[in-house]
Amino acid sequence: MRESFERAANIYQQARPDYPEQLFDNLIHAANLNPGDRLLEVGCATGKATLPLAKRGFKITCVELGAELAAVARQNLAGMDVDIVNGSFEDWQPEAEFGFDLVFAATAWKWIDPEVRYTKAWQVLRPGGHLAFWNADHVFPDDGDPFFRNIQTVYHEIGEGKPVDNNDWPRPGELQEQRDEIEKSGLFEIVHIRHFDWERIYRVDEYIKLLETFSGHILMEEWKRDKLFNEIRVCLNNRPGKSVRRHWGAVLHVARRKELK
């Protein structure tokens, strides 16, 4: 599934949401970063999280699995102090002998082999360096747009519906933290965890483009996708604003590299 994003390389940068500026400021403070520090990004896609950090003066190496995504990222990051390597993080080996100040992943950490990701991050960090990761996920405030629950009728008709379990409909601040996973690795000490939430208004075509960047929709059978997108267009075009209000959430995890005895 992690290779499916290649098919959305040409629309990914435009369709996916920008992360809040406050998240980057919070990350920099928690990881005690300074301009000129060396950062390693795992799975940069088209550079959604890379660009804001590059603009803040950091030197960034990105390891991106998808060749098309990496090519688009190079265009988006032209002129920045960013080096993009096409390959898997699990197999990548750094050329420099000294370590990175930060390893980070934005909506990509979950795609890395859990048997490898913490060990590899620990190996490429300098002593005292930090690991940070977060995902952009859908959250559902009590006063949120009813569209998402209503459209589940169509998802169920095509066999792609969400369970009614409330765990699949998290409110802002209720996204699962990965504290236990970090501690279980034995390689990192958690220094900071913070929840962020924000919202975006999508017009019909913008929302369809967003869905076209999600692995589940990319890999959906064509007839299912056609029916779903047609129903979404009908539904949203019948609204006065012809749009949908979607809330996003992210949990920023920052952990310091432990020195093993």
Span 227-245, pLDDT tens digits = 999 999 999 999 999 999 9
Span 32-77, pLDDT tens digits = 999 999 999 999 999 999 999 999 999 999 999 989 899 999 999 9
Number of domains the chain contains: 1
Please check whether residue 51 lies inside any domain of the structure: yes
CA 261, distance to chain mean position in Å, is: 34
The three-state secondary structure class of 45 is coil
128 has a pLDDT exceeding 60 = yes
The reported pLDDT for the residue numbered 115 is 87
Please check whether residue 213 lies inside any domain of the structure: no
End-to-end CA distance of the chain: 38
pLDDT band at 116 (very low <50, low <70, confident <90, very high): very high
> How do beta strands 59-64 and 82-86 pair?
parallel
Span 205-232, pLDDT tens digits = 999 999 988 878 888 899 999 999 999 9
pTM of the model: 0.91
DSSP track, 156-190: HHTT-PPPS-GGGSPPTT-SPP-HHHHHHHSSEEE
120 has a pLDDT exceeding 90 = yes
Cβ–Cβ < 8 Å for 121, 102: no
The reported pLDDT for the residue numbered 97 is 65
Containing domain of residue 128, as a range?
Answer: 4-140+169-199+247-257
1 has a pLDDT exceeding 50 = no
Residues 6+ apart with CB under 8 A from 238: none
Cβ–Cβ < 8 Å for 74, 84: yes
Please check whether residue 115 lies inside any domain of the structure: yes
Please check whether residue 67 lies inside any domain of the structure: yes
Please check whether residue 20 lies inside any domain of the structure: yes
Please check whether residue 104 lies inside any domain of the structure: yes
The reported pLDDT for the residue numbered 214 is 86
Question: CATH number of the domain that 133 lies in?
Answer: 3.40.50.150
Please check whether residue 161 lies inside any domain of the structure: no
